[in-house]
Amino acid sequence: MPTLPKPPPKPARLMTKNQVFQFMQTLERTYPSARSELEYKNPFTLLVAVVLSAQATDVSVNKATPALFKAAPTPDAMVALGEEKISDYIRSIGLWRSKAHNVYELCKQLVMNYKGEVPSTRQALEALPGVGRKTANVVLNIAFGEPTLAVDTHIFRVGNRTGLGPGTTPLAVEQQLLKRIPKPFLKMAHFTLILLGRYTCKARKPLCYACPVAEWCQYTDKTTLPS
């Protein structure tokens, strides 16, 4: 699991319920078409893509997976392809050796235990090789419509910096966000918060002056427009 950054300085206070509502509502209006930037066609290709994306960029995964999924579009085909050939398709992705092994082994389990279908429960997903809580949350959200939050470095940073849902671990942030974000916004929150963290609320130099939700953010060291 990648090492997460230390939480930034604790904000002066948590957002109020009304501030959280305004914050999330504005994010949805700002990113009305927010979705995963990984390319996939069905729950199976989504699962594989998310496993491959660990400690790698979505861009690098999207470059490798079209050829892989053309060669092996189903779990059965992936097992038939074999671990060595899977490796050949994903060598441009970080940690490709261990990821090829995990993809091969999880496909074997899908074939043997689930008739080639991706299971729809957290327990079953997390029992698959290479699938942790974050990956399971992504699959549950996108493939099965569950209001889950996969806390990556972006959401971890946003939750702490803004006062939306601070915590010292990804699980703590996830639990805070699930508790504090109103239900109507939970399904999209995974995507809108990632986009906010990736492109505006950046780690080193947040673009507070261009942030659509700065009005409700409790970060005390907001940046100003460069002169």
Residues marked as catalytic: 134, 152
Distance (Å, rounded) from C-alpha 103 to C-alpha 125? 13
Annotated binding-site residue? 201: yes
- The answer to the question of whether 211 is labelled as a binding residue is yes
| 3-class state of residue 7 by DSSP | coil
Determine the Cα–Cα distance for residues 11 and 144; give it in Å rounded to an integer: 34
Question: Which residues are within 8 A (CB) of 154 and not within 5 positions of it... i.e. 6 or more apart?
Answer: 193, 194, 196, 197, 198, 201
Going by C-beta distance under 8 Å and a sequence separation of 6 or more, which residues neighbour residue 20?
A: 164, 180, 181, 182, 216
Q: State yes or no: 107 annotated in a binding site.
A: no
Task: Locate 160 and state its tokens.
Answer: 């702490």
217 labeled binding residue:
yes
Question: Radius of gyration of the chain from Cα atoms?
Answer: 19
| Count of CA atoms in the C-beta half-sphere (13 A) of 112 | 8
Give the span between the Cα atoms of 39 and 58, in whole angstroms.
Answer: 8
CA nearest neighbour of 194 among 127, 137, 123, 125: 137
Name the binding residues for [4Fe-4S] cluster.
Answer: 201, 208, 211, 217
Name the binding residues.
Answer: 201, 208, 211, 217
